[in-house]
Structure 1
Amino acid sequence: MIRIAFDPIYIHPIPEGHRFPMSKYELIPGQLLHEGTITSQHLFRPEVCALEQVLWTHDKDYVDKLLHQTLSASEQRKIGFIQSPLLTQRELVIAQGTIDCCEYAFRQGVALNVAGGTHHAFAGRGEGFCLLNDMAIAANYLLHNGKAKQILVIDLDVHQGNGTASIFRHEPRVFTFSMHGAHNYPFHKEQSDLDVPLTDGTDTSTYLSLLQEHLPALIEKVKPDFAFFLSGVDILSTDKFGKLKVSMEGVRERDYYVFHLLRQKGIPVTVAMGGGYSPDVRSIVEAHCNTFRTAVNLYE
């Protein structure tokens, strides 16, 4: 059975001053349960990630600031959140959820985190609504414990995974692949192992063609024994900030292609949801739910 990380902390009220759209973290599992795609047996609640594991990725001084609520006003503006103990706890739970998903993926082939994909977090700072980099923490967990030898990060969020690229810049055992809007946030890009910048207005056909051109060759070159897939739905044409023109069906086809290829190669994968900012939350939820539906259909 496919396992899905979910915890009620995702749906707690957000502290005053926060405007990040959090409702999808409640609506996605709710919709999947309602329609019968999953049952409550698919869901699990992660614990808080051990600090030792966080410190394999993040600088101690930065982690201490998160724990003791001593981020400066400038650091909070860079992140986009007003600091709070709840936010720090939430990020630690997300990170543990992604680690747990890795363990489940070894057994089932795939596991998914309803949240996660916090790829703008660097080792020593947060950015873009990301405090801790859950996929980087999970990748280092796998390497540290000898559970993987070569990891591929497939980042298909519309925004470049700048924090992930920076963290693994000098780590040959983690290959970072980011396919993102060339003129989108972050405006100063880091260098991934492979970046595929997309022009504004890139349509479904062009997007899928580029993915099909790069991903199979990349898998043959890198030969990963584990993959992370950041399945952001901010590539949708309806997204407020994405600047791309990918259809709802195109996003579903993207997910199917990634899952099918990894499953065919026998590569376990952990999935995190990443971004999505369409004005109608129903579009965001539907696109994310398609990721889960596709995984269930292929792996169960």
Structure 2
Amino acid sequence: MLVAYDPIYAHPLPEGHRFPMAKYELIPAQLLREGVITDKQVHIPAPSDEATILLTHTPEYWYKLQHQTLSDKEQRRIGLPQSPALTLREIVICQGTIDCALYALDHGVGLNVAGGTHHAFADHGEGFCLLNDFAVASNYLLQRKLVKQVLIIDLDVHQGNGTAALFAGRPAVYTFSMHGAHNYPFHKETSDWDVPLPDGMHDNDYLSTLQDCLPVLINKVKPDLVFYLSGVDILQTDRYGKLQVTPQGCKERDELVFQAMKRHDIPCAVAMGGGYSTHIRDIVNAHCNTFRVAGEIFG
């Protein structure tokens, strides 16, 4: 199991924005302390190169990120103030997801401590996302003919609107999003398969819905690789999620996905996505469960 992590994840933002970022430092520390991973499994990615970024994002938008010329309106849409550190963080995230995918093709699974930036479009960012790491990684693999068919399983509570828009009309990447029907983004794009969930959904209904979808996806898409967005904002403790999934239910969700991938011998690259519970221990523990379960199933 490869775990992509870089220390710049920890504090790239002004003081008022640091809380959501603290998990990126705490997750690997917890996994190392428990012995779930070793130092040898921790991988520090280099920044992704410009040619790779431009397979997905427009030159005009990339220029703005490089030269810090996003307008106030564009920054508000993203929800974060622009800074060179934030841009660097995003291109490292993209390379981390690429590296996890390459590792997964050989070894079964690779997990990025960050990533899942599914609200980023080709020409703009939204919802705390500047660059779309799953899209960047998918295009990288396809352009190099390392895979022919990609499946994106997005189980963050928010629809992967940027991902859906980026791959509309591109059958080589099949986008699946199971998300809160009444949650952000309030204007949804059209994925290849969207499963909107009602507010207040509990474990049994959530898990049975996913269990019904997974075999259909695998049989229909027949992917060479799956990108799995394992957001923990489905938790009942999440401030914005509107679902009632317990930590055990969230863990069982990961088990369903990983067991299906293992059973069908499909490589799986994972990114953490969102999580906004009031207590950061709830966020970190739920994310760590994703790594724990991956280690148990893939070895």
Normalising by structure 2, what TM-score? 0.99
Q: CA deviation at 1:19?
A: 5.3
**Aligned amino acid, residue 44 of structure 1:** H
Distance of 2:79 and 2:45 partners within structure 1:
25
1:116-195 to 2 correspondences below 5 Å: 116-195=115-194
Distance of 1:137 and 1:13 partners within structure 2:
22
SS in 1 for 2:171: coil
Distance of 2:171 and 2:274 partners within structure 1:
27
Q: Aligned pair 1:231/2:230, yes or no?
A: yes
SS in 2 for 1:180: strand
SS in 2 for 1:195: strand
Q: Which residue of 1 aligns with 2:281?
A: 282
- Aligned CA-pair RMSD: 0.9
Distance of 1:115 and 1:36 partners within structure 2:
20
Q: CA deviation at 1:189?
A: 0.2
**Aligned amino acid, residue 294 of structure 2:** A
Q: Note closer, same or farther for the CA distance 1:180–1:214 as it changes in structure 2 (3 Å cut).
A: same
Report the number of matched residues.
Answer: 299
1:152-187 deviation per Cα after TM superposition (whole angstroms, max 9, x unaligned) = 000000000000000000211000000000000000
SS in 1 for 2:20: coil
Q: CA deviation at 1:298?
A: 0.9
Consecutive unaligned residues in structure 1, runs of 5 or more:
none
Q: CA deviation at 1:16?
A: 4.8
Distance of 2:67 and 2:264 partners within structure 1:
44
Consecutive unaligned residues in structure 2, runs of 5 or more:
none
Normalising by structure 1, what TM-score? 0.98
Q: CA deviation at 1:18?
A: 2.9
SS in 1 for 2:219: helix
Q: CA deviation at 1:245?
A: 0.5
Q: CA deviation at 1:12?
A: 2.9
SS in 2 for 1:21: helix
Q: Note if contact 2:11-2:18 (Cα within 8 Å) is conserved in structure 1.
A: no
Q: Which residue of 2 aligns with 1:30?
A: 29
Q: Which residue of 2 aligns with 1:101?
A: 100
Q: Note closer, same or farther for the CA distance 1:199–1:208 as it changes in structure 2 (3 Å cut).
A: same
**Aligned amino acid, residue 87 of structure 2:** T
1:22-66 deviation per Cα after TM superposition (whole angstroms, max 9, x unaligned) = 100000000010111111111010000011000000011000000
Distance of 1:14 and 1:85 partners within structure 2:
10
Q: CA deviation at 1:214?
A: 1.0
Q: Note if contact 2:12-2:86 (Cα within 8 Å) is conserved in structure 1.
A: no
Distance of 1:87 and 1:17 partners within structure 2:
14
1:93-135 deviation per Cα after TM superposition (whole angstroms, max 9, x unaligned) = 0000000001110111000000000000000000000000000
1:222-277 deviation per Cα after TM superposition (whole angstroms, max 9, x unaligned) = 11111000000000011000000001000000001100101111110100000000
**Aligned amino acid, residue 93 of structure 2:** I
Q: Note if contact 1:237-1:244 (Cα within 8 Å) is conserved in structure 2.
A: yes
Q: Aligned pair 1:254/2:253, yes or no?
A: yes
Q: Aligned pair 1:18/2:7, yes or no?
A: no
Q: CA deviation at 1:215?
A: 1.3
1:19-58 to 2 correspondences below 5 Å: 21-58=20-57
Q: Note if contact 1:95-1:137 (Cα within 8 Å) is conserved in structure 2.
A: yes
Q: CA deviation at 1:20?
A: 5.6
Q: Note if contact 1:18-1:82 (Cα within 8 Å) is conserved in structure 2.
A: no
Q: CA deviation at 1:17?
A: 5.0
Distance of 1:79 and 1:58 partners within structure 2:
15
**Aligned amino acid, residue 247 of structure 1:** T
Q: Note if contact 1:15-1:84 (Cα within 8 Å) is conserved in structure 2.
A: no
Distance of 1:275 and 1:61 partners within structure 2:
27
